[in-house]
Amino acid sequence: MAKSSNKLDLRRKLLLWRANHRGTREMDVLLGGFARDNIDSMQPSELDELERLIDVSDPELMSWIRGEAAVREEYRSPVTERLLAYRVRLV
């Protein structure tokens, strides 16, 4: 059990690092803040969804967050909805 827990902790740390080092300051703040505030309570399936979001380009992800474009179907998930709601709380 400890080995599995350690793998999960390592995965969370890696995802948190990736969310905080996007390439644009705005996305570092937004996605990094979201990850910091939520990652500890995320289940493995939610971490999968976060990982997929991290792989989306900054311009596309920002267009979803700003409401300038619809979220592509394959990225619609509870985690995406939480991210979009998180942005609203920051404004």
- The confidence band for 1, taking pLDDT boundaries of 50, 70 and 90, is very low
Q: What mean pLDDT is reported for the chain?
A: 91
- Please state the rounded mean pLDDT for residues 31-41: 95
DSSP assignment, residue 35? H
Residue 36: HSE in the Cβ half-sphere, 13 Å Cα cutoff: 9
Domains and CATH numbers, the chain: 2-90 (1.10.150.250)
- Please state the rounded mean pLDDT for residues 14-20: 96
Q: Which residue has the tokens 């996007």?
A: 22
Q: Which residue has the tokens 């990736």?
A: 18
Global model pTM greater than 0.85: yes
